[in-house]
Amino acid sequence: MSAYAIFQDESRCISCRSCQVQCKINKGLSVGPKPNQIIEVGPVDRNGRPKANFVFLSCFHCADPWCVPACPNKAIQKRDIDGVIFINQNRCAGCKSCIMACPWSAPQWDGQKGKAVKCDLCLERIDAGLKPACVTACPTNALTFGPADNVPETKRIRFAREVVSGQDMH
């Protein structure tokens, strides 16, 4: 895994897909490729309430990525300092090997440029001290970005509150 991670707090997510659109704009992509995407599951009935899951899916920046060795041209690389996996667009020959190799469809096909494109956590932005474009864009702060060993406590706090308020009721 890379040293960083994007965490999604599903309970705050409203599936507006700003993350998806802003990523595409930031990478100069048109219709088609989606380096990140919200997948909607539901709504289903849960204890008499309609509940849906909106799952943010992007690149996992694997510790042992299958896409990197699959690339015949060393276009996909893992950055030494933080393990971020990125595509050097100048080296990409458009062979799609990375797309075939990845089990989660993280690399996407940019038909306009004839190259593969994927989430690189907006390297230029994070190197400039900004957050990835999708995280800044998120209207509800459902997405957070930071060092992977610094997992946000939001869910834990919420769970603790639920436990306590449950006890209050009894």
Partner 1 sequence: MQSVHSICLMCSVRCPIQVMVDNDNVKLIEGNPHDPGIKGSICPKGAAGVCLLNDQERLKKPLIRTGPRGSGQWREATWDEALDYVATKLKEIKEKYGAHSIAYTERSQLNSHISKTFMRALGSPNYFSHDSCCKGSLNTAFRSLTGYTDSSVSVDLAKAKHIILFGRNYFESIELKMVKQLTSALENGTKLTYIDPRVTVTATKADKFLMIRPGTDLALSYALMHVIINEELYDKDYVKRWVLGFEELKQFVGKYTPQWAEEQTGIPAKEIISLARQASAAKPAVIFHYGYRSAHYTNEVYVRRALIMLNALMGSIEAPGGIFFKKNAKDFGKKPLNKLTDQQLPDIKVPRCDGAGTAKLPTPDPAHGVVQMLPQVILSEDPYPVKGLIVWRHDPMLSIPDYENNKRAFEKLDLLVTIDIQFSETAWYSDVVLPESIYLERGDSIQENSGLKPSLYIRKPAVTPRYDTKPGWEIIKKLADRLDIGHYFPYQTLEDLWNYQLQGTGLTLDDFAGKGFVTLADEPLYWNREDGIQFKTPSGKIEFVSSLLEENGYPSFPEYETVQPPAEGHFRLLIGRSIAHTHVSTQNNPLLNELMPENLLWINTKKAEKLGIKNGQTVQISSSRGRDTIKAHVTDLIHPEAVFMVHGFGRRVKALTRCYNKGASDTLLQENISDMIGGSPALQHVHVKVQAI
Residue 24 Cβ vs partner 1, minimum distance, rounded to whole Å: 6
**Residue 88 touches partner 1, criterion: CB under 8 A:** no
Residue 102 Cβ vs partner 1, minimum distance, rounded to whole Å: 22
d(CA 145, CA 89): 24
CA distance to 11, 14, 32, 145, 158, per residue, from 8 (Å):
9, 11, 23, 9, 14
CB atoms within 10 A of CB 135: 23
**Residue 15 touches partner 1, criterion: CB under 8 A:** yes
Q: Is 87 within 8 Å of 117 (Cβ atoms)?
A: yes
Largest CA-CA distance found in the chain, in angstroms, rounded: 64
Q: What is the dihedral of CA 156, 7, 1, 98, to 10 degrees?
A: 150
d(CA 115, CA 86): 13
Piece of 26-34, 72-80, 89-97, 111-119 that binds partner 1 (CB under 8 A): 26-34
Residue 54 Cβ vs partner 1, minimum distance, rounded to whole Å: 8
Among 105, 158, 159, 160, binds partner 1 (CB under 8 A): 158
Piece of 6-14, 69-77, 83-91, 111-119 that binds partner 1 (CB under 8 A): 6-14
Among 26, 99, 126, 146, binds partner 1 (CB under 8 A): 26
**Which residues form the interface with partner 1 (CB under 8 A)?**
11-12, 14-18, 20-22, 24-26, 30-32, 42-43, 49-52, 133, 136-141, 158, 161
